[in-house]
Amino acid sequence: MVAMEFTTADGRPDADFTRLVQLRAQDAGLLLLICGVYGNVIRFLFPLTIEDSVFEEGLAILAKAVQA
């Protein structure tokens, strides 16, 4: 399992931004799981047998969701 934690510039958990990333990714067809005590972590649960093209597509959607 791999996870990504989102915080504000001063290091506080940023649950609002995390939810926004999740919604943007969902609109583009990528489902993400939010977790963590503060709701500021996105957990990635991909199979070990994932095809490279599918993995790269998911990463591209995630990158656009974070940048948007």
Given a cut of 80, whether residue 1 has pLDDT beyond it is no
Helices marked H in the chain:
15-27, 52-67
- Non-local (6+) Cβ contacts of 1 within 8 A are 43, 44, 45
Query: CA-CA distance, 41 to 47, in Å (whole number)?
Result: 19
pTM assigned to the model: 0.89
pLDDT band at 19 (very low <50, low <70, confident <90, very high): very high
- In this structure, what token pair is assigned to residue 39? 């709701």
Percent residues over pLDDT 70 in the chain: 100
